[in-house]
Amino acid sequence: MSKRINFGKLIEKQLPPELVNFMWVAGEMANSRGEKVYLVGGVVRDLLMEQANFDLDLVVEGNAIELAQQLKLNQGKITTHPRFNTAKLQWNDRSVDLATARSETYEKPGALPAVTPSSIDNDLSRRDFTINAMAIRLNPGYYGKLVDPHGGRDDLQSQRIRILHEKSFTDDATRIWRALRYEQRLGFHLEKKTSSLLQRDIPMLATISADRTRYEMECICKEKYPEKVFNRAGELGVLAALHPSLKGNGGLAEKFEHARKECSPEPPSFDLYLALLAYPLTAEETEQLISRLNLPKLSAKTLRDTIAVKNKMRSLSTPGVSPGAIYNLLRDFSPAALEANSLVTESAVAGQAIHLFLNRLKDVQVLLTGDDLIQMGIAPGPRIKEMLALLHQAKLNGKIATRHDEEEIIKGWVAQKQGGTTPPS
Ligand code: ATP
């Protein structure tokens, strides 16, 4: 049995006074409108776990947009979505989502649900897991009252991820990814029946659109330890449903950890994590993954570049390879693809070459322009481009550094030409 908790006190203890005050005002305003308002979802779960989460989600039995308009602070911004009956309030660095309580029906598996305004109970019944299906009422007189129709609090205490009904994963198979994400983030376990339904419904992942699948991957990559989710997804056969050649074990955890160290204090980008995950795939398999996730152009380029750079690793591993040659080998590829290869390669020489490129060579620029060269006596034409490229190579290889050095080289070439010889090529 769960012990008695004063949830009003819990809110005051854990949330900043500004948000506590906001919720009081929301409760009073909803009351004056004859509506009920609740704090719901992840923030309630995290309040009970005493973990910081300031992303407030409110549900209104009534009209969320009108309530939000009344609540809008003088300096705040409001964004509304009348089709979904939702509103977002933003002020300073705060953001609060308000939604009208709704029930959902799924016409076919994986489709987005049809939505109708409803009660808080129905709103909680459409949610993914019991631990996310709790609400705290905010109206005066009921402030702090927990609404927990599915036993979310007991599941929190028993550290269980449990779906609300047998068809949950069939209705929306993104919940399979979500289940693994919460399980690994919170260090919980899948409740027995949930676990067997999850495994039964793995084929339903095929009903999820590419964009929704990509969104789930992005959410996983925002976790503190995405490798835990991929590892678990590998164990259960969920990762294979994304692509049969993906592996969540082996050296993945070590590579992700290494990526975090390299990128610190920023977290690694989605593209970098994905390039590391997709590293073992062939070019053809990579194309299949790109289309399964409908990756935007830049992310798709990163995956393709990762393979292209992999094919250059032998040349890059040659001891004594010049900076100019490194530049020519790597110039066309996305930084995340280069970073991924430097994290995976066993060749210290190649790793250093990539870092030299990323930290210095990619930014080396010639200071003189084509016009400068013409003014210095070089005839306009394709030769100008060639000479700028020669200057660039000389600069990459450390033979020249300043604008003065560049001018001296050009003057030398002009003099050679006047003396009847042609500049080096
Ligand atoms: P997080 O859990 O990542 O800290 P959150 O709990 O706010 O954040 P969101 O993904 O923002 O999670 O979703 C908000 C709430 O909406 C969830 O707590 C859950 O109740 C519900 N929800 C989100 N996605 C689904 C889904 N696919 N099926 C059912 N309910 C969902």
DSSP H helices, 278-347, are: 283-292, 297-310, 313-316, 323-330, 335-344
- Strand 56-61, strand 94-100: pairing: parallel
Across the range 27-54, mean pLDDT stands at 95
Please give the number of the atom of ligand 1 that sits closest to the Cα of 175: 27
Residue nearest atom 5 in ligand 1 by C-alpha distance: 42
For residue 8, what are its two tokens? 């009003």
- CA distance linking residue 100 with residue 24, whole number of Å: 18
Whether the pTM exceeds 0.85: the reply is yes
pLDDT at 415: 87
pLDDT at 77: 92
- CA distance linking residue 237 with residue 321, whole number of Å: 43
CA of 102 to the centre of ligand 1 (A): 14
User: pLDDT for 375-400, tens place per residue?
Assistant: 998 889 999 999 999 999 999 999 99
pLDDT-based confidence at 61, cuts 50/70/90? very high
CA of 4 to the centre of ligand 1 (A): 26
Please give the number of the atom of ligand 1 that sits closest to the Cα of 41: 18
CA of 411 to the centre of ligand 1 (A): 67
Most ligand 1 atoms within 8 A of CB, residue of 51, 127, 177 to mutate: 127
CA of 128 to the centre of ligand 1 (A): 7
Class of the CATH domain delimited by 1-158? alpha beta
Across the range 57-72, mean pLDDT stands at 95
pLDDT at 418: 72
CA of 210 to the centre of ligand 1 (A): 19
Residue nearest atom 3 in ligand 1 by C-alpha distance: 42
Q: Nearest 5°: phi and psi at 98?
A: -120, 135
Residue nearest atom 8 in ligand 1 by C-alpha distance: 42
Write down the domain spans for the chain: 1-158, 297-363, 370-418
DSSP symbol at 310? H
CA of 41 to the centre of ligand 1 (A): 6
pLDDT at 93: 87
Residue nearest atom 28 in ligand 1 by C-alpha distance: 128
Residue nearest atom 18 in ligand 1 by C-alpha distance: 41
Instruction: Give one DSSP letter per residue of 137-191, joined into a string.
Output: E-STTTTT-EE-TT-HHHHHHHTEE-BSSTTHHHH-THHHHHHHHHHHHHT-EE-
pLDDT at 52: 86
Residue nearest atom 12 in ligand 1 by C-alpha distance: 42
pLDDT-based confidence at 279, cuts 50/70/90? very high
Ligand 1 pocket (Cβ < 6 Å) reads 41-42, 55, 57, 127-128, 132, 172, 174-175
